[in-house]
Amino acid sequence: GGPGMADAAVAGEIFASPSTAAVARVCRSASFGGGIILGFGNYAGDVLNFGVAAERLRAEGIDVRIVTVTDDVASAPAETPLQRRGIAGDFVVFKVAGAAAEAGLPIDEVERVTRYANHRTYSFGVAFGGCTLPGSVEPLFTVPKGMMALGLGIHGEPGIRDTEIATASDLAKLLVETVLKERPDGARRAAVLLNGLGATKYEELFVLWGAVEKRLR
């Protein structure tokens, strides 16, 4: 990942968790005695496989901590945040974790800062169409013409509901108001990630960003 990012990443198949053996193998290669923090989005397969790998590594004497990312406000109520999925917030949380480690903080402090970052990271996704896995004929889900899906996941999970496509101003209002409902008391600053996953033109994202920034200010 480069300076200030993760020392290693474990790749699984498309939309599938890497195997327990792969996780353990990569962690052994990345272990230099200071301990390891495993960060991943809160999905069942990842929780299972990374968890089993962590137990194996701990039995070998490696200090392993697990931090699951739970930023997706559409996937579970605010009362049960640990049931939420990780989506775009993965990037923000991993960047904070990497920066803390790069600064030389001990693993207890890196873990604390990473959990704090996750606790204060909130995301909401919108889709205008479903993705198609390589080799498949049909997309994983479809969005009716003229509509957009709210609250999709990053593995092709469909949204929680469909609504009419909005103008940039109205979409910014939806995104900002949805996320700001979760704002911690007293928080007056925000680091904002507006991500199109390569499927939305930069020109359109800049237009949307202008409306988002205006609402936040």
Catalytic residues: 155
Dihedrals phi, psi of 130, to nearest 5 degrees: -90, 155
* Distance separating alpha carbons of residues 138 and 149, to the nearest angstrom: 17
Q: What is the CA radius of gyration of the chain?
A: 19
Burial (CB count <10 Å: 0-12, 13-18, 19+), residue 33: exposed
* Distance separating alpha carbons of residues 8 and 23, to the nearest angstrom: 10
Cβ contact 115:69 at 8 Å: no
